[in-house]
Chains A and B, each alone.
Chain A
Amino acid sequence: MMDLCGFSSPRSDCFPAGLRVLVVDDDPTWLKILEKMLKKCNYEVTTCNLARDALDLLRERKDRFDIVISDVNMPDMDGFKLLEQVGLEMDLPVIMMSVDGETRRVMKGVQHGACDYLLKPIRMKELRNIWQHVLRKRIHEVRDIEVEEIYTMRNVTEQQSDDGYLFSGDLITGKKRKDTTANKNDDSSSSKKSRVVWTVDLHQKFVKAVNQIGLDKVGPKKVLDLMGVTWLTRENVASHLQKYRLYLSRLQTENELKATLGGIKSSNIYSEDHSSVNVCLQNPLSQNSVTMQQKIVINESSKNLNQKDNSKICEENMNGIISGPMSKTKKALLGDVNDPMKSNTSRLSFGHSLPKIEVQSWQEEKSHFQAEKPRVASIEPSYGNTKSPGIERVTKVESTAALFSVQPQFIYRHAFENNLFGGVAGPSYRLWEDELNCFSSQGVSNPPYADYGCYGSQELIADVPYHSLNFDSEYTSDSLEYPVIDQGLFIA
């Protein structure tokens, strides 16, 4: 195979043969068929019939797989959620499958970051081409890093920079950087080392550093230096910073949306039917499941929500995708979302939900996020929320998730929001933290986990580092945005 953009790992010689695929499907018949088909493509196949198992496998060895293919309907976890988690935590391309080809479903998949959505029955030829997604993602990663560097350069230009390295190095922009990143990619699969898992703690450090430096002046090297994490590379930070910026700008768009929006009632927003709405059902079987993502209906027609009580709208995804052209609609929706949230706050009385809502209202108001330690209890997104439809709206899981462990994510969002809106800089983050503290003291319990159904909850509590996944939704969107955006998939 010809040179693949600098891929020169041992496997790349026969790329895409040997591509390591993880297939997740609860239907044993399909699992068997897909395994056979993939093997015929000379791919290395691992099968899994539970989403949770899949995540365990993926986490066990971060660089063990190149791509994940999963069915949308899984019994233990919503396929969309799995999709997000994988994208966020592992940053692997994920392909969704379903026998349902309805546009809104497909859109949802895309919004959650799927790099492709296959309809069953799946043909061999469709599987033969999945390697393109792996390649594409890698190329984008390189690009992201480069873009980030350019961004940084601009910021750095004005200031006295002791980042001589950064500055001059970046000046030689294209070539030099390309060489560097290209080299990085030479490790192909082992370049996974540049695929850092941004845990809550790590992200917190990152955000702290960013805030300290000031978003307008921030640059990868400075952040890296401040963070003091020895094993992290500048490229890692650059890439993360890039995503963070996108996240923030997305927030901005949302906020603008909020401002314009005004009357959408919360209860209306959950329409699974609504193509614009990103309804994220954490656990398809559980009516109440709440996804960690905050969902805001983002699309033009978000009017007919009224879906199941428990659907949550995945704003995150929407955000990512809609950022550009759709921002208007989003805005409209957002505006609405915020209001209910506030009012919901008072309404929420369940232990766990309450914190969430509050979080959300503050989200709008404050940008302090300084993520607290994952206080799972406090943030649990409306798992339990079956009780009140209004809460659904609050299901800004995202925020919750953020608190949950998702903090980093959350932080992104809110902190940024405030930054954009109120021009609040660093300090705001701290406010958030205070708020969070309040919550914590509320002594939220953990019942949500049960509802959560998906692995998330349990693990979040037990396994802090993975919380980052939750915010993943946000993050995921970010990371998965690239492919989407690049492919011009703004589905209006």
Chain B
Amino acid sequence: MQKQLAKMKQSLFDQGYLDEQFIQLEDLQDDANPNFVEEVVTLYYRDSVRLVQNIEQALEKNPLDFSKLEGYMHQFKGSSSSFGAKKVKTECTQFREYCRAGNAEGCKRTFQELKKEYATLKKKLEVYFQLARQAGPVEKACRPK
């Protein structure tokens, strides 16, 4: 099972869903917080719901308030970077670029992409964590290549 877990993690990294920060968090896991990463990710998804809603509402306005959107995205990016959500982060950066360029279409399009990545990652991590719980304590030395 550990092997399966390791493989899954490797694939998440290879596909660019996660980055080094994820490992940093795993390194923090200990007896006191054996499921630390899962807790963090859960917290993230719960807390970011509000943010996603805010952005959606803001995207419906006309004209768009780019500076506000940029602000939201800044927060989003910050949060996403906390556990290494690589693809989500990339979309955030792209979104901000569009904001700065004042490109409404670009923003809206990017946001759709972002939501997709956001949701995909969530599902994948849910599977991952479930597997992790079943596999028991994971060796920390398990770093993806």
Contact = CB atoms under 8 A, between A and B. Distances in A.
Size bracket, chain B contacts: 20 to 34
Contacts of A30: 78-79, 82
Contacts of A99: 74, 77-78, 81
Interface string A78-117: 0000000000000000000011100000000000000000
B104 interface: no
A308 B24 CA distance: 38
A70 B75 CA distance: 14
Contacts of B74: 73, 99-100
A178 B2 CA distance: 60
Interface string B42-83: 011001000000000000000000010001001101110111
A40 interface: yes
Contact of B75 (A27, A37, A123): A27
Interface string B15-45: 0000001001101100001001001100110
A27 B24 contact: no
Contact of B82 (A29, A284, A285): A29
A344 to B, nearest CB: 25
B84 A121 contact: yes
Contacts of B84: 121
A492 interface: no
B21 A73 contact: no
A124 B39 CA distance: 18
A420 to B, nearest CB: 40
Contact of B25 (A33, A71, A120, A308): A33
A120 B28 contact: no
Interface of B: 21, 24-25, 27-28, 33, 36, 39-40, 43-44, 47, 67, 71, 74-75, 77-79, 81-84
13 contacts: A28-B47, A29-B79, A29-B83, A30-B82, A33-B28, A71-B78, A99-B74, A99-B77, A100-B74, A121-B82, A124-B27, A284-B71, A285-B71
Interface of A: 27-30, 32-33, 36-37, 40, 71, 73, 98-100, 120-121, 123-124, 284-285, 308
